[in-house]
Each structure stands twice: as C-alpha cells, then as structure tokens.
Structure 1
Amino acid sequence: MSIHERGFAMSATSNLIDDAPLTKFHKKLTFFASGGPFIDGYALSIIGIALITMVPGLNMTPTEIGLVGAASLVGIFFGGGIFGWLTDKIGRHKMYIADLIALALFSLLNGFATEIWQVVLCRFFLGMAIGADYPIATSLLAEFLPKEHRGRLLGATFVVWAIGAAVAYAVGYLLRDMGPDAWRVMVASPAIFAVITLLFRLGTPESPRWLLSRGRRDEADAVIKKVYGQQYGLADIASDSEGPAKQGKFMDIFKGQFWKRTLFVSIFWTAQVIPLFAVYTFAPDLLHSMGLTGDANLYGGSFLISMLFVVGGIPGLWLVEKIGRRKLLLWSFGIIVVALAVPAFIPNVQAAPLFIALAVFALASGASSFLEVVYPNELFPTEIRATAVGFGTAISRVGSAASTYLMPVAILSLGAAGSLLIGAVISLVGLLATFLLAPETANKSLSELTTEKKSAMPITSKATEGSLS
C-alpha cells in the first residue's frame, strides 16, 4: 500500500519522514545498516575461538592474550570518538562506505601476522573501523525511520550483533581441525562479510536531515523526491527545513540539556558492554573455569549463550515500543544484577548454576543491549547526532577494554562466580543511572526530542500519488 492510500498525521514538530508508513526502503536501509553490527559481533567473538590455536602458535603469555582481546576495543574507542565527529562534518554516506573498506583490509592483514605486535595493531585498526560504523550507520538510519518504528528497527540492527557472535562460534567450531594456523583463517574471515555489506550499501542516499544541517537544501530536496516521490519536497519536512543551517561542534554534547543525556548514555552503555564483551571474548575460558570441558561443551556452550542473546532480543524489540525504552532498560538491568550476583552466594557452586546465570544474563542483555544505538540517536539533534553516538561508543569501550584485559586474571583469581559478581556490581551502576537520568523517547519525533518546541495539534496532510511503497 502506498503513502497516498494510507494517509498519515503531521504536526508542526513532525514531518513526512517521522510520520511516513514503513516501506521497502526503510527495511532495506535497516538491513544494510545491520551489516556493521553483524561484523562487530562476529569479529569480537571470533577472537575468543581463534586464541585457542593462536596462543600456542605464537607462544603468547597471559598479558599478550589480554592485549589481543582488548586491542579492538581500544580501537573502537578511538574510532567511535574520532569518526563520529567526522561523520557530522563530512556526511554519513562517505563514511558509510569507507569504514567497510577498512574493515576488510585490516581483517585480511591480521591473517598474515607473524608477530604479536602485528596482531595487536591489526585488531586495533579493525576496532577503529568497527567503532566508526556505530555512529555512521545508525545516525543515517535514525534520520530516515518513521517515529513509530524507529526504536524497533534501530534495535534490530543491534540484535544482529548477537547473530554475528553466534555465527563466529559456529565458524570457529567448523574450522577447529584446520591445524595450528586455523586462527589465521578465523581472524581474516570478517573481510568476507565486510565486502558483502559494502556491495549492499552502494547507492544508499545521503541523509536529507544532515544535508539541511549543512545548508545543502537543493541536495536534501532531491533526496526527499527520490525516496518519497516527486510531489514531496522540503516543505513536507518543515520541522527540519525551517530555520538556519546548524553546524555542531564536539563540545555541544556537553552544553545545555545535552550534558545530562551524554552522562546517561555514557554510563548505561558502559555498564552494559563491560560484562557483555568480557563474556563474549572469553566465553570458552569462562566455561572451562566452570568445569565444562571438551569441544561440545566449550564451542557448544559458547554458541548457546550467543543464541540466547538473539532470543532475548525478540521480546525486547516488541517491548521497546510497547512499554518504552526506560522501563525496558530498568527491568533488564535489574534481572542482570540478580542473575550475576546469585552464584557468588552459593557455597561450592557447581557448573549448572553458573551456566544458568550466564544464560539469564544473555537473555536479559539481549532484550535491551540494542538501546545502546537507540537512545543516543534519539537524544541528540542532527548536527551532533553522530558525534554523540561516537562519544558513547568511545567511553563505553574504555571500561570494556579494561575488563577484557583483566578478565583472564579475574577468572584465575576469583573463579567464575567472583567474575560474575563483578559484572553484577557494574550492572547495578547502570540500573541507578537509568533510574535517575533516563528519559522516555518512544513514539516521539526527533525534533520533539531535541528542541524545546511544543507539539501542535495534528493535521491531516494532503498526499498525492508517490513512489513511497
């Protein structure tokens, strides 16, 4: 059904983009944007499997293992911080393509590494490319999605992260008998997915909202006509097109109403990813510390945990529009705190309760971890949107890099139960930050969320025949 057949409500603070029906264009754009999170989940998880043959092959020490695990997360810190800001400066589309080329290149180079420092360096640059894709792909997608579907479709791109991680464990299991150099194929394999995603993304239009923020009105009008139909133009996105062009600065995310939002995003995102990446990167080691041994338990257990993240995402994507972002995040943090803390208080805890704790954590985390890309894209205006997403990405990776580096030591010193308890404490911090700082953003236009304007009464737009379907 086309847009002129459906009709839709508009107000002074909303527009064609916010109120349009969901179309094939939106679904394709969501699918293309999902390639980045898929590669992220795959690349950050495959290293945990690759280490099984990499450690003896390169005679790695525990410190070197930690460096390899943390290198990509440090890279994400720099990639998110630098390229988020750059994406607001030069546009979403150019960066949308460039970062995938970098992903493919450094994955391939990693497969040919002969020294530890080369592996660490390649993983660092791979992480930079991954970090760049968070603000690039999600800001472009957010600026095209209708408000009624924005949370669910933005979230769906991040649920794909868990699918990428699950695929990584499946690939690792299939390649485990290749011999001592199996790790080379594993660390190079993300290049395949990067090239496929790159081919899909070619031809994606630039965000009209970003073009308007740079004063490029004619180009923005051309994109509106291409995507929605020739009878539409800038007048149909009045809440974005009215007023002067705005070119944001990096420090704007700390000014006015945005500093509290930046604080909230940084804390909740960090609290989510610290236990998440620690579990994913060292899932086989964690399961081994629980007493689970053998390929079926190590690979199979890791794969099962990954799939539970995906399963948790299914109700999460329904609840994000049903009960809203704030309640979903509060409930998931609360469940995670309990699940990860309980094993520490069970005397001589055995493998089963520990594995159950991990499984509950995976389900609850999967139900809300996608809010890491939903909240920051909704809380900041176009001119600083990618900067804010990039900053949140960067800050969250400081904690996750430290936890990944220290995870092997924690497993040896504290055991599985002690390691999970640390995750519970970190999740409690996220719970408190959400309770104190999180706003509700569901079913609101981007202009409503990022300006002080009040909504006008809805009026019915007069749509004629168009290409949006």
Structure 2
Amino acid sequence: MSNKNYEIRHPDDVNRIVSEYAGQGKSNKVIWLALIGVFIDAYDLTTLSFGIEQVIKEFSLTPLMTGVVASAIVCGTIVGNLIGGFLTDKIGRYRVFMADMVLFVIAAIVAGFAPNVWVLIIARFIMGISVGVDLPVAMSYLSEFSKFSGKSNKASRLAAWCPMWYAASSICFGIVLALYFILPAQYSHWLWRASLIFGAVPALLIIFIRGKYLTESPIWLANQGRLKEASEILKSSYDIHTVVLESKKDYKIQQNIKQSFWVLFNRTYLSRTIVAMVIHISVAFQYTTIAFFLPSILMNFFHTTTLTTITTTLTLNLLFAFTGGLLGVYLASRFTSRHILLTGFILQFIALVLLGWIGHPNSPFVLYSAIVLLGLWLFAEGFGPGAQMMVYPTMAYPAAIRGIGVGFNRAVSGIAQAIALFVLPMWMTKYQTDVFTIIAIFAFVPIIIIGFIIKFEPTRNDIDLQEPIVKPTSTTTNIII
C-alpha cells in the first residue's frame, strides 16, 4: 500500500476503500476471529447430537422431555438472533461480539456441570442466546472486512462459515472419540459433559486476544457519521492512510433512520426477505434431520454400534460436509449464489428421495449405499444451501440494517429448527425411514421458488454502495424481482 492519503468526505468513501483494499494489514485477523465465533456456534449446537442419547439415559427422559432438551438451545438462539441483530446495528459490532463470548463461556461451563435436566435446559437456553447474538455480528464482520470482488471476496468469506461449521462439528466428534478411549468405562457418561465444557476454550481465546486484533467495523462507524473513528481503524487495521474532509454535500446519517424489522418487508427488501426465509426454513428442517440426528439415524435405522456411530459420523462430516464447504468457498468467488444454491437443493432432493425409497438397509451393500447418500446430502449442503444461506441475508441488506436482516432470518431458522427438534423424534418413531421422503419437501419447495418465482441474486451489486435505506411503507405486498 502506498503512503498516499485517501480523502474521506462521505460514508460511501469508506465503503469503497474497504471494498477495494480489504484483506491487508490486520483485517484478515478480524476475519479469523469472526470465523472462530462461528466455530463456537457450530460446536455448541453439535455437542448434544451424539450426547443426547447419554442425556436421555442419565436423566431418564421421555420423548417429550428429549424434545425440550434438544430444542432449548435453538429457542435461545431465536431470542439471541433478534436481540443480537438489533444491537449489532444499534451499538456496534465490537461490543456485541465480546459480550456474547463472555456469556457463552459461563453458560457452557454451567451446562457441563448440570446436576439435573432443568439446569441443563436453562444453561442450554442461555447458551443459545449467545449463539444467536453471535451470528449477526460475525456475518457483519465477514462482510464489512472483505472486498466485494476478486479472490477472498465477500461471498467466499461469508461462504467460509460453512466449512468452519463442519470443522467444528468434526472436531466435536473427534473430541468425543478421544474421550471414548480415554475415559474409564465407569465414567463414559461424562462424554457429553466434557465436550460441552471444552466449547468454552475458543471463546476464552477470543476474549484474551481481542485487544490486539479486534476492532469496530469502519463501515458501521462511517454509517453512524463517525468518519474520524472509521479513518483511524482504516489506518490501524488496513494500513490505509486517510484524511477526513468536510463535505459540502449533505447526507443522511443512517443512525437517524429508525431501525425496525418491518423495514425488511417494504417494497425494496420484501422479495429478498422471502428468499432468505425460504432458504433458512428449508435448511433448518433438512439440517436437523440429517446432520443433528445423524448419530440417531445410524443407531436406530442402520443399527450401528456406539463406536461405529462416532467414527461414521466423524468420517461423513470430514469427507463430505467439510469438503463440500471448502468447495462452496471456491465456487462462491466464481459463480452466482443462486445457481450454486439451486444445484445444492437439487442434489439434496435426490438424496432424500432415494433414502426414503431404500428404507431400513437389509444388506451390507444397501447399508453402504444409504451411508453414501447421507454423504451426498452433506456434500450438497456444504457447497450449496449451507454456504449460501448466510450469503443471501448478509449481502441483500446494507450495513445499517445488516444485523437486523441476518438476525431476523436466523430467528426464522431457529423457530423452524426448534419445531423440527421437537417433532422429529416423534416423526422418526412413527414414520421410521419414511421421514426422509417427508423432509424432501423442504428441498423441493426452494427449487420452485428460487428457480422460477423470485430470481434475486445478492452478489450482482455491492449493496453498501448501491442503495440507501428505504423507510418502511404501508405497501408490503409487491414482490420486486
């Protein structure tokens, strides 16, 4: 970077500098800290996917209470998404990010030492609030510290949340596998407790190193009218020297515009919100069925042993989900989000229909075929809906309402996932492997809506440079494509 001083007269000047020069200086460290936050979220939501069977035995849970325990954290994320989305836009990215890390550490430790099921439920609910608060701010960091185009652009960095998610899932099961061999047989029931407590470690890491690398988003500061502070961060994090000049042209500071979830449903943003909601609802039901209940599917439908269940789940996550996520990062920087998304949903639909057709495997060949189909679903999730579900809401809304947009859509996803966690244990008991055919509907619907009805593409233009905030209006029914 040259020693040239770049002039800043308007928030758009900051947006343009970040869009062109992000990725140098300490800004990449901020990206990694945001991704570590995503890692924590994923790890936290994964810990009980295997441990739920142990929790059922330890606390003698009924199917109803099992659903309450499993859905407690997701219910917490709903609250956290709404609170975090609003606060991220209102008070800034940095303060919200640090507060949710502290909350997570406390909740993880309490959950790990829970003496009864009610303490576990409350702790998991609070942990869910932390996860819910974190995602809107993490996505804002990933977007606002990245270039719009080229290598390591916004779309690819946002898509990186998916391989990070599956890396956390894989590490979670890797820890469970290690503890399986390390813990004496009489302490095997501590597998789920130890894995929960370990989740506090990366959160503590962020807390300890926050002062060296983590800063407020210069784009958020600029949109609040705090151009001098934005200029200071451009120098410290990007090594870009800027001079703030008085502008004779008036501009409306976005802070003065009332922040409300209703803005997502006005004429400008309604179609984008509908698409994002469809994606999040679809992913919530599919992910909960295949990814969260994967150990239960292997144990109850495929009749695998405990060790085989752990190793198979770990292998599927690494070979298919994580690999698909890495491919998603590559594809996001080279192809449009909509086409990637549709390809993923089509493959998922095929995998789910075939799994429903196979039913209970009655031979080794059919069993291996079913496991490969599970892997196909995970691979498609990794590069398609899993990666793109955060690209859509993050890049569809400008900085002033980005937290609200991501938070709202994640809350919708949380509601769908809470419902799924509650009903799926009962559906699996009643319908057995026919549940795959039912869930295939959630892959088919977005193919129709995104493929033929609302053809919105979030990566076509940089939203932070193209559009002002539009105030909510009474007209919320027109879909703008």
TM score, norm. by length of structure 2: 0.86
Distance 1:345 1:4, change over 3 A: farther
Counterpart Cα distance in 1 of 2:78 and 2:218 = 28
Distance 1:386 1:14, change over 3 A: closer
Q: Which amino acid aligns with 2:163?
A: V
Question: Residues 348-359 of structure 1: matches in 2 within 5 Å?
Answer: 349=361, 350-359=366-375
1:432 Cα offset (Å): 2.3
1:413 Cα offset (Å): 1.5
Q: Which moved more, 1:283-292 or 1:146-155?
A: 283-292
Q: Which moved more, 1:275-284 or 1:400-409?
A: 275-284
Q: Which amino acid aligns with 1:193?
A: P
Equivalent position of 1:460 in the other structure: none
Equivalent position of 1:207 in the other structure: 217
Provide the aligned length of Structure 1 versus Structure 2.
444
Matched, 1:387 2:398: no
Equivalent position of 2:254 in the other structure: 246
Counterpart Cα distance in 2 of 1:112 and 1:182 = 12
Is the contact between residue 254 and residue 469 of structure 2 (CA under 8 Å) also seen in structure 1? no
1:235 Cα offset (Å): 6.8
Distance 1:380 1:116, change over 3 A: same
Equivalent position of 1:284 in the other structure: 295
Question: Residues 49-198 of structure 1: matches in 2 within 5 Å?
Answer: 49-148=50-149, 149-176=153-180, 177=183, 178-198=187-207
Counterpart Cα distance in 1 of 2:381 and 2:359 = 26
Q: Which amino acid aligns with 1:132?
A: V
Is the contact between residue 330 and residue 434 of structure 1 (CA under 8 Å) also seen in structure 2? yes
Equivalent position of 1:338 in the other structure: 350
Distance 1:13 1:34, change over 3 A: closer
Distance 1:224 1:276, change over 3 A: same
Is the contact between residue 275 and residue 400 of structure 1 (CA under 8 Å) also seen in structure 2? no
Q: Which moved more, 1:365-374 or 1:387-396?
A: 365-374
Counterpart Cα distance in 2 of 1:275 and 1:254 = 26
Q: Which moved more, 1:339-348 or 1:270-279?
A: 339-348
Matched, 1:366 2:382: yes
Is the contact between residue 316 and residue 367 of structure 1 (CA under 8 Å) also seen in structure 2? yes
Question: How far does the alpha carbon of each residue in 1:77-126 deviate from its partner, in whole angstroms, 9 at most, with x for none?
Answer: 11001111111111111011110011110000112212211111111110
Counterpart Cα distance in 2 of 1:380 and 1:144 = 16
Is the contact between residue 139 and residue 390 of structure 2 (CA under 8 Å) also seen in structure 1? yes
Is the contact between residue 273 and residue 396 of structure 1 (CA under 8 Å) also seen in structure 2? yes
Matched, 1:440 2:449: no
Equivalent position of 1:457 in the other structure: none
Q: Aligned-pair RMSD on alpha carbons?
A: 2.6
Aligned counterpart for 1:378 among listed residues 395, 401, 414: 395
Q: Which amino acid aligns with 2:225?
A: G
| Matched residue SS, 1:23 | coil
- Structure 1 gap ranges (5+): 454-469
Distance 1:447 1:242, change over 3 A: farther
Equivalent position of 1:467 in the other structure: none
Equivalent pairs: percent with the same residue? 23
Question: Residues 216-295 of structure 1: matches in 2 within 5 Å?
Answer: 216-229=226-239, 231-233=241-243, 243-247=251-255, 248-250=258-260, 251-295=262-306
Is the contact between residue 336 and residue 360 of structure 1 (CA under 8 Å) also seen in structure 2? yes
Counterpart Cα distance in 2 of 1:12 and 1:216 = 13
Higher relative contact order (CA 8 A, sep 6+): 1
| Matched residue SS, 1:395 | helix
1:304 Cα offset (Å): 1.8
Q: Which amino acid aligns with 1:140?
A: Y
Counterpart Cα distance in 1 of 2:92 and 2:406 = 14
Distance 1:318 1:333, change over 3 A: same
Is the contact between residue 340 and residue 423 of structure 1 (CA under 8 Å) also seen in structure 2? yes
| Matched residue SS, 2:122 | helix
- Structure 2 gap ranges (5+): 7-11, 471-481
TM score, norm. by length of structure 1: 0.88
Counterpart Cα distance in 1 of 2:14 and 2:206 = 35
Counterpart Cα distance in 2 of 1:324 and 1:404 = 32
1:39 Cα offset (Å): 1.3
